[in-house]
Amino acid sequence: MDLRWHINTALAQIAIKFLKWSKWYDGYWNHWRGDIFNYAQKQGLHILPVHYYSPIPNTAELPTSVWNNQSELKGINLNIESGLELLTKLSTCYQQEYLKFPSEPINSDREYYLNNSAYGRGDAEILYSMIRHIKPKRIIEIGSGRTTLLISQAINQNKLENTSYSCDFLAIEPYPPEYLVPPPAEVTKMLPVQLQLVPIDQFTCLEENDILFIDSTHVASIGSDVVYEYLEILPRLASGVMVHIDDIFLPMNYPKKWIDEARFFWNEQYLLQAFLSFNQAFQVIMPTYALSKQYTEVFEACIPSCKEQKSSPSSFWIKKT
């Protein structure tokens, strides 16, 4: 590491020790801290005390049981057996197509490939196959990226199979990456805005076998997209709409290294679990993480590329009944 890194680290540590010494951060209620918070926020930082009122936990005090214990998922049926049956069916119909997914980009960065850091093995094959299988008339994608390329590829294949097929594909992404500018031809419209600004009637238009794809900020906070998704959008969906949610590890917790190393303090999974508990209006269709752990050999036979990765797929599919 270079000298600049060491200097910056030392200065940051001195500043933190000064804040501690000043006692401005003793307890949670301190009128001085409001000014510091506002100033820091303008600089792109949030400075808060370690406290049980904070949404960020004291990671040094988290017991090992947080990572080792499975939730009993009271009031939720993961439908593992029917999920396994669907996975086998998708594999039988579309494995020869998704086996052609390249590991690395071949012609350009505007084509989907497996070895990307955003949406990889297992999740990709299931998403592609699901679109090929149910042939949605509308897809709304909340959070665009590599999945936009993959969804476009599946739509295109449906069109090649049936020239009368069409799909209205709306992508919502406030920060579109360069490789999506311009978006693929299969994208009907891309909205570069925050989800919360999208009128609710965009989602009530979805019908049976249409897909709502969710891969947003993963954080439920005041005014966040996740709050809008679970409290406003999902309850209004029509019967038969398929919903995809990414990075769900039920019945386990989020991966320990995400907290210890990456410092991701996501909480969407907890909101999803609460939403599904004793909720007869939604049915679990494909709990990918649980399937990959409970039936590893079958899962890898259906999706051979998963043998080549250490991380587990984590997409989660539900359906409005």
Of residues 32 and 75, the one with the higher pLDDT is 75
DSSP 68-80: HPPP--TT----H
pLDDT of the residue at 156: 98
pLDDT of the residue at 116: 92
* pLDDT tens profile 36-70: 888 889 999 988 888 888 899 999 999 999 999 99
Burial category of 157 from C-beta neighbours within 10 Å (exposed 0-12, middle 13-18, buried 19 and up): middle
Q: Look up the pTM and report it.
A: 0.94
Tally of CA atoms within 13 A in the half-sphere of 282 that contains its CB = 26
Q: How many residues does the chain have?
A: 321
Q: Which two tokens stand for residue 209?
A: 């076998």
- Mean pLDDT, residues 208-216: 98
- In which band, very low, low, confident or very high, does the pLDDT at 243 lie, cut at 50, 70 and 90? very high
DSSP one-letter code for 310: S
* pLDDT tens profile 148-176: 999 999 999 999 999 999 999 999 999 99
CA distance 97 to 132: 10
CB-CB neighbours of 297 under 10 Å: 7
Average pLDDT, whole number, for the chain?
94
Q: Are strands 211-214 and 138-142 parallel, antiparallel or unpaired?
A: parallel
SS3 161: helix
pLDDT of the residue at 1: 61
- Mean pLDDT, residues 222-228: 97
* pLDDT tens profile 250-305: 999 999 999 999 999 999 999 999 999 999 999 999 999 999 999 999 999 999 99
CA distance 124 to 68: 27
> Are 242 and 207 within 8 A, CB to CB?
no
With CA atoms as reference, report the closest residue to 113 among 121, 126, 103. 103
pLDDT of the residue at 310: 78
pLDDT of the residue at 32: 66
- In which band, very low, low, confident or very high, does the pLDDT at 108 lie, cut at 50, 70 and 90? confident
